[in-house]
């Protein structure tokens, strides 16, 4: 690797699986001191074993206001600053509008929008001058995907948060950007509310619609995160970088 993040302190929410875990590995390989959070005891333990001394793994619910506040209070004491904040934690439930539940809508809004907004709010005193904030949005905020109206709404809201935060924090030279993944093979597909066959069919169908003809990999999104977090992206803020194989682009 090239040590693009050498001596940087980086926090990744939802960093125990999928895109978050892949990014934790890449950030560590680039020289960052990495902290990841998660709320599932099994994935937390698995991440501790997989990451070893490359990252600190902390149990924290990214949708719980009290735990979010405690997380940043603790980091202020142990690390004193953050150079990179990747707000990656999120959830998805797909269902046609006629069958979608208010419970699922509220759960997505809590974790996908309210949580990142609160995390950014509590992180502000810790963010170093010239720090980078990354937010995981989704191709769903640009495409009309069947069964994804509620999920897409949360990701579109996050995109708006990125624009507003980029404007507010520019005076501190803090860059705020979004990463918009297309369909990527991660454990989240097991949590969509779809059967295994339906999830497999969804991925196969998605691959036919992607110009590059395949589903993405978590490490490809992690590579984009390294770029946006590094000095290579020093003149980029308020943007959304699509990592979607061209799905929402052509």
202 contact partners, CB below 8 Å, separation of at least 6: 183, 189, 192, 194
How remote is the C-alpha of 152 from its chain's centroid?
15
Say if strands 82-87 and 33-38 run parallel, antiparallel, or are unpaired: unpaired
Beta-carbon contacts of residue 53 (< 8 Å; ≥ 6 apart): none
Task: Select which of 151, 162, 218, 233 is catalytic.
Answer: 151
Catalytic site includes residue 151: yes
Give the CA distances from residue 25 to residues 33, 196, 224, in Å, rounded to whole numbers and listed in that order: 11, 28, 13
Answer for the pair 173, 235: CB distance below 8 angstroms, yes or no: no
The two tokens of residue 179 are: 């990463």
Q: Which two tokens stand for residue 58?
A: 């902390």
Which active-site residues does the annotation give? 151
């Amino acid at each position: 690797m090239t040590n693009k993040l050498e001596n940087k302190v980086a926090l990744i929410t939802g960093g125990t699986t999928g895109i978050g875990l892949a990014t934790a590995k890449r950030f560590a390989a680039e020289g960052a001191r990495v902290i990841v959070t998660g709320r599932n005891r099994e994935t937390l333990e698995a991440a501790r074993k997989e990451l070893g001394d490359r990252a600190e793994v902390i149990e924290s619910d990214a949708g719980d206001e009290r735990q979010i506040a405690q997380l940043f209070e603790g980091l202020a004491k142990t690390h004193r600053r953050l150079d990179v904040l990747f707000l990656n934690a999120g959830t998805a439930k797909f269902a046609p509008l006629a069958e979608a539940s208010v419970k699922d809508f509220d759960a997505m809004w809590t974790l996908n929008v309210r949580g990142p907004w609160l995390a950014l709010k509590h992180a502000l005193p810790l963010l170093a001058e010239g720090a980078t904030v990354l937010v995981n949005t989704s191709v769903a905020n640009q495409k009309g995907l069947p069964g994804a109206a509620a999920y897409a709404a949360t990701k579109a809201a996050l995109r708006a948060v990125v624009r507003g935060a980029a404007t507010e924090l520019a005076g501190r030279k803090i860059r705020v950007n979004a990463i918009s993944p297309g369909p990527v093979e991660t454990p989240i597909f097991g949590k969509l509310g779809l059967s295994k066959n339906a999830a497999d069919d969804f991925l196969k169908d998605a691959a036919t619609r992607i110009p590059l003809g395949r589903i993405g990999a978590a490490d490809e999104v992690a590579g984009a995160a390294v770029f946006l977090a590094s000095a290579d992206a020093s003149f980029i803020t308020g943007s959304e970088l699509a990592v979607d194989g061209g799905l929402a682009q052509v």
